[in-house]
Amino acid sequence: MIIMEVLYYPGCSLRNTYPEFEKSTYEACEKLGIELVEIPEWSCCGVVPSLATDNVMRHLGAVRSFINAQKKGREIGTNVIVVLCSMCYNVLKRVNLILKEEPDTLENVNSFIDDQPDYVPDLRVTHFLTFLKETGFENLEEKVNKPLKGLKVAPYYGCALLRPDRPEGVPIDNPDNPVILESFVRSIGAEPVHFPFRAECCGNYHIVLEPGIVEMRTRKIIGSAKSVKADLILSPCPLCTYNLGRGNESLDKSEQVPVVFFTQLLALALGGKSYLPTEIEDQILKKIGGEKSD
Amino acid sequence: MNELVERVTEISGQNVYSCYQCGNCSAGCMFTDEMDILPHQAIALVQNEDESILEINTPWICASCFVCSVRCPRGLDVAAIMEALREIKIRERGFIKVDLRKVDIEKLPQIAITAAAQKFTW
């Protein structure tokens, strides 16, 4: 049963590094009656937003995807783009807002991309979590047939979903006191545990040149989640997930906390395939008391 | 206007003289252990037209997490100022922060390499 069609921007990480993020999302969307319509010929978003005001070159990847999304959106009658990866969300959201606010920048990029129709900035970029919230976490709760009862989940926001707060509209929740992931965790029957490092930075791109910084950061984040007895860390971001994985590798087995994508728990709670490693899925099922689907 | 101040202003779109040195950015920054000087001290150097700012590591340790930008009581985008200081170096002919040919692309995910390339190369 398809009740809603939306444009969908996958991003590179979901196709290369973490296919389980995308596959579990498709699984969940099928159960929820959401059809993700992939933007044809989408480009890499650039991962990090350029903060230089005098150089719009780094926005071009995002704009090329918007032009293709615009065409497809008109065909299927929607202007909403759903994004899963936090980094892609941040870049696409930011660039779209800048193009709405700055006519000169819009004209500049449109005249540069002269082999394509102009981008008319009427698309709306939405993170999948916001999309779920808007369709109602309570509706989600009704569709959960395997509530993850008793599972302690540490919702880790990272940076890209919450910051920066300019242009207005980038954060998906209050940057200082977000609750959206906690609400999501409750809606799938699990228990969110509060830990002070939930919105701290994992070290971002420093993994390339200064991996020591990332290990220092992620060990603190994992240690903080461990101290509140979290069974799992819930991540919305492929780069955070990778960096937290590197942090886990540098810790003793007893100090580690597994990191999973939020859509993997969603798919599991909806009675679908989670694409979790067997070991982790078994631990979760054991924790919630077997495979009963009541 | 001094050339350093002019370029930081042009690239970041921020008025560095807005900063009144409260240190909130430095208090919230998670990376200060690794920095030569604190973020608000880096801004003070720019205000003082001190070019030595271009040789210290503070802007390069910044991970663009935007905690400083969200918390600045003067509404300054501190992360954008750090980016401007990086950009001034990156735009110098012959300056190389990272040689991407030497990065282990088999081991690292694409998302990390692309992010580093965006921040550290022209």
The closest of A138, A137, A125 to A85, measured between CA atoms, is A125
Among B residues 18-37, those touching chain A with beta carbons less than 8 Å apart: 30-31, 33-34
Chain A CB contacts of B114 under 8 Å are 12, 44, 46-47
Q: How many CB pairs under 8 A join A and B?
A: 122
Give per-residue pLDDT as tens, B70-90.
Answer: 999 999 999 999 999 999 999
A242 in contact with B, Cβ within 8 Å? yes
pLDDT, greater one: A173 or B106: A173
Among A residues 62-81, those touching chain B with beta carbons less than 8 Å apart: none
Tell if the CB–CB gap between B66 and A176 is shorter than 8 Å: no
CATH number of B3-91: 1.10.1060.10
Tell if the CB–CB gap between B115 and A205 is shorter than 8 Å: yes
Chain A CB contacts of B61 under 8 Å are 210, 213
Tell if the CB–CB gap between A204 and B115 is shorter than 8 Å: yes
B66 in contact with A, Cβ within 8 Å? yes
At residue A3, the pLDDT reads 78
ipTM of the complex: 0.94
What residue in A sits closest to B88 (Cα-Cα)? A52
Q: Which helix (H) or strand (E) holds A69?
A: helix A60-76
At residue A289, the pLDDT reads 86
Buried b (16+ CB within 10 A) or exposed e, A265-288: bbbbbbebbbbbeeebbebbbebb
Give per-residue pLDDT as tens, B34-61.
Answer: 999 999 999 999 999 999 999 999 999 9
Tell if the CB–CB gap between A204 and B110 is shorter than 8 Å: no
At residue A293, the pLDDT reads 46
Q: B interface mutation test: which of A21, A48, A51 has the most B CBs within 10 A?
A: A51
Residue with token string 């909130």: B24
Q: Which fold is adopted by the domain A144-288?
A: Rossmann fold (3.40.50)
Chain B CB contacts of A217 under 8 Å are 30
Residue B29 to residue B34: CA distance in whole angstroms: 11
Domain chopping of chain B, boundaries: 3-91, 95-122
Low-confidence ranges of chain A (pLDDT < 70): 1-2, 290-294
Residue B22 in tokens: 């409260």
Chain A CB contacts of B69 under 8 Å are 163-166
Residue A115 CB contacts under 8 Å (≥ 6 apart), including other chains: none
At residue A95, the pLDDT reads 96
Domain chopping of chain A, boundaries: 4-128, 144-288
Residue A87 to residue A161: CA distance in whole angstroms: 8
Burial level of A30, CB count in 10 A (0-12/13-18/19+)? middle
A12 in contact with B, Cβ within 8 Å? yes
What residue in B sits closest to A201 (Cα-Cα)? B65
At residue A98, the pLDDT reads 96
At residue B105, the pLDDT reads 82
Chain A CB contacts of B122 under 8 Å are none
CATH number of A4-128: 1.20.1050.140
pLDDT category of residue B104 using cuts at 50, 70 and 90? confident
Chain A CB contacts of B79 under 8 Å are 51, 164
| Phi, psi (rounded to 5 degrees) for A124 | -120, 120
